[in-house]
Chain A
C-alpha cells in the first residue's frame, strides 16, 4: 500500500528581523495508511511547523522554501503535490481530507458561535451535495406523506424547494441555488441544508462520546469543560471523515484522567474510521501509548524514526536516549541533557545536537548525518551508525 503522505526535503524558514530561522531543515517523512505516527521533541523543534506545512498554513513571515509533500489520493489513485496545488483545491482538502486538532481547545473554538454552528459549518462547506440529497429525501417523504389542508397548501412550495435541492445535489455550485443564496428572503429557502447539517453534527458529537449531544450542540464554548471542548474540536476535525487527522498536542492542557479518555478516543478513531493520525506531542508517555511509529525531532531535523516498541526499548540516537533518561521514573536517577536547545537563528554546523552530545566525534561538527535505515523500519541520523 502506498504511503498516505510523503514528505521529501522539506525546508521551512522564517525571515525575521534578527535573521533567518531554520524552522525545518530537509525533512523526510512518510505517514502510512491507517497508522498513528507520533512526532516528539522539545519546544521549538519544529513539530507543529511540520504539521502546518502539510496543511500549507505556515504563518507569516515563514515560508516553505523547498521540498515536496505528496498526498496519495485514493479516489483517483494518484499522488497530489500539496505544495503546488491551486489554492481552491487546497481549501477543498483542508478540513475535509486532512484536518487538524489544535493544542488549546479553548482557542480553537470561536466564542461567539455555538458548538453546533461551528461543526455544521464544516458540513456546509465540504458536504453540500450530501446535505442537499438528504434535504431532498426529507421533502420527498413530506410530499408523499403530507395530508390535510396545511400540506395541501404547502405542497407546490415543497415541490419547488425539492427542485432546488436536486440541483445542488447534482452540482454543488449550480447557478440557480447560488443566485437564491445571495438574495435576501429567498436565501431562507436553503434552511433545510443547515437543518440536515445540525442533525449530522449531533451524530458527530455522539460519536466522540459527548453525553447529551443535542444540548451541547446549542451551547457556547465557555459553557463546556476543557475535555468537552477538546471532544468538540475532535468532532469538528472528524466531521468529513478525513484520511489524515493531525493532532497537535491534543492532551497537553488536559488532566491525566481526561487525557486517558482522549487517548482511548484516538485509538478508537483509528480503528473505526481507518484514518491515519499524525500525533504531535512532547510527552513521551503519551507517544508510547497511542503511536505505532515515532519520529523524534531536534532543532528542525529528524533524529530517529522507529516503531514504538523499538524506539522506547532500543533507542539509537544519543538525543533520543537522553530524552528518555530525562523522564522521571521511579527508582532511576534523573539524568539531564547538558547545555541548552540549539539556537534556531544560528544553529551549530554539522549535526545540530553535537554540542550537547556525550558521544560527539570530530566529524559531527562538520558534516550533518543523513537519515539511514539501520534495521527494518528503524531510521537514525547519526554518525555513530
Chain B
C-alpha cells in the first residue's frame, strides 16, 4: 500500500503574546516534531489526552493552520520525497529544492493550490452543535462545498445533496430544515455528508463522537465503516477513548505533549504496549466488565503545560522508569518490531 499522507517533523508553535506591545513572550509547542505516515485506505487512530496536540495535528494537516516547520506530503510519489530529503541533507538552498517544495509540500501551499487540495482532504469537527451554521438550511450546508469547488451546480447539485443525505441516513424531507431541529447524532451525520460532498480521498475526524451517547456513537462508527468501504476513503481518526480506537482503527498513534510516543497496530499497542505512557493510558481506561477491574496503574500528576515542557522526554516526571538519560535527552521514534515504533529509552 502506498502512503497517502506523509507528515515529516511537523512543528506548530503558537506564540504567547504579552506586555504592552503584545510581543511574543513564549511559545506553546502544540506540535513538536511529529512524523506520521498514513497509508491509502488506512483508518489511523490518534489517541492522547486533551492538550497533547491531536486537534492541532488534524487542523495543520488539512492546512487550516500553517505549520511552523516540517513537511506535509499529500499523495506525493516516494521518489520525489527522497529527492527533497537528499537535497535538504546536502544543505543547499537552491532553486530546485524550492521548486520541489512549492510543488509538493502542502506546508508551502496557498491560494488555488490549497483550494484544490481541500477538495481531496476534509475535516469533520468535534462538536456538531457548533460546527454547523445555525442560519443555513441543511441543503445549503451540505451543498456549499459543491458550489465553492465548482463541482456541480443547479439541479445536479440538488440531487447530489439529496443522495448524500440519504447515504448518511437522513431523509430527503429534512433538506429544508435548520440545524437546531436535529439531534446530536443527526447533526454529526450532516457534518459527515458535508465532508463527503466533494468526494474526498482523505477525511480527518476530530473526536466526532465525544458529544454523543453510546448508542448513537455506535451508529456513527458503523456509518463511518460503511462509507470507508464504499468510497475507498482514508481516515485520520482522533479520539481520547481508547476502546473506540482499539475496536475500529487499523493503526494507532499515541501522542503525548506534542509528540508521537508510540505507533503500531491496535493488537500490539493494546496487548503489548512498549511505552510506559501507552501502558498506563490503557490501564486507566474503564471497561464495562467487572472481571477486568485488576491491574490499574494510576499515573501521578497531570500533563505538563506545552508552553513549558519538561526537558528530555516529556513524560519523565510521571514515569516510573525514568532515568538520568530521560531527563536530558528526548528519545526518537525507533522500531521495536515490524510496524511498531516507540519513543522511549527504556521500552517495556
- A residues apposed to B, CB below 8 Å: 42-43, 225, 227-228, 255-261, 263-264, 282-289, 308-309, 312-313, 322-332, 334-337, 340-341
Contact = CB atoms under 8 A, between A and B. Distances in A.
A308 B288 CA distance: 10
Given A327-B214, A332-B247, A257 B288 contact: no
B246 to A, nearest CB: 4
Interface stretch (B30-38, B85-93, B110-118, B298-306): B298-306
Contacts of A312: 288-290
Contacts of B222: 334, 336
Given A255-B50, A257-B281, A313-B289, 12 more contacts: A255-B240, A257-B299, A260-B286, A264-B298, A286-B286, A288-B287, A313-B290, A327-B214, A329-B243, A334-B221, A335-B218, A341-B213
Q: How large is the interface on B (under 10, 10 to 19, 20 to 34, 35 or more residues)?
A: 35 or more
Nearest to A307: B290
B196 to A, nearest CB: 20
A337 B293 CA distance: 27
A285 B290 contact: no
30 contacts: A43-B184, A227-B302, A255-B50, A256-B49, A256-B240, A256-B242, A258-B49, A258-B302, A260-B286, A264-B296, A282-B213, A283-B286, A286-B286, A288-B289, A312-B290, A313-B290, A326-B215, A328-B246, A330-B246, A330-B266, A334-B218, A334-B221, A334-B222, A334-B247, A334-B248, A336-B215, A336-B218, A337-B215, A340-B183, A341-B213
Contacts of A284: 214, 288
Nearest to A340: B183
Interface of B is mostly: helix
A208 to B, nearest CB: 14
Contact of A256 (B214, B266, B281, B291): B281
B213 A43 contact: yes
Given A42-B213, A263-B286, A328-B221, A285 B243 contact: yes
Interface of A is mostly: helix
Contacts of B248: 328, 334
A329 B241 CA distance: 11
A288 B287 CA distance: 7
A263 B283 CA distance: 13
Given A256-B242, A257-B284, A327-B288, A42 B298 contact: no
Contacts of A341: 183, 213
Contact of A330 (B240, B270, B288, B291): B270
Contact of B286 (A43, A288, A326, A334): A288
A258 B285 CA distance: 10
Contacts of A334: 218, 221-222, 247-248
A285 B287 contact: yes
Given A289-B293, A327-B243, A329-B243, A259 B286 contact: yes
